[in-house]
Amino acid sequence: MRDDGLHVVLAGMFIISFTILLAGFKWDHLCKIFRNLDKVLLFIASFPLVCISLIITVLAGGYRPPSLISTMAKGLLDSTSMITGSGRETIARNRRDKLKEIQVNSENYLISPESSADIIPWDITTLLANQQVYKPRPIPQSYSAYTESLQKVNKDFFLSSPDRPEFVII
């Protein structure tokens, strides 16, 4: 998301185009018509995204045909990859590869899988990649340092709550 006034315009365009799609075509009716054609429904649902990518290109970079064409091609390619079996398999393979990379790069906490843990500084990806259950404290550490009462909420959680994690990784 852009951190300027343009993000409001872009979000609004997406919401408007998606609302038009849903209201104009009566989504329930479409679902009945394309009951066994989930790929068609997915394409219809992703169509506003492709349109918005074109609008973003024009607004953010001006009208430059090569850029516009490449953005349009990328949007259509992304939509197609979600629809096709090989595209979904590619996405699943990329996720598996990323998970393996995180597991290899993560520290060895010597905590068995399925154990619950809280972690500071909130690198929960490491916990999830190592199949540990993330059980966060009630007040984020960055906020609890501000007042004693917030620190007490966390202290009470770790001392007496039945939902407290087995481990706290610092």
Residue 50: inside a domain, yes or no? yes
Query: Considering its fold, how many domains does the chain have in total?
Result: 2
CA distance linking residue 131 with residue 118, whole number of Å: 13
Is the same domain home to 10 and 78? yes
Q: Output the pLDDT for position 142.
A: 65
Domain that holds residue 59: 6-83
Specify whether 68 is located in the same domain as 11: yes
Helix axis angle for 65-83 and 38-61, nearest 10°, is 160
- pLDDT one digit per residue (tens) for the chain, 170 residues: 445 555 666 676 677 666 666 655 566 666 677 676 766 666 666 666 666 666 666 565 555 555 555 665 666 666 666 666 777 787 788 878 877 777 666 666 677 778 888 877 657 777 777 778 888 887 776 665 677 888 888 888 888 888 888 888 77
Does residue 103 lie in a domain region? no
Q: Looking at the domain assignment, is residue 70 inside a domain?
A: yes
Q: Is the peptide bond before 162 cis (omega within 30 degrees of 0)?
A: no
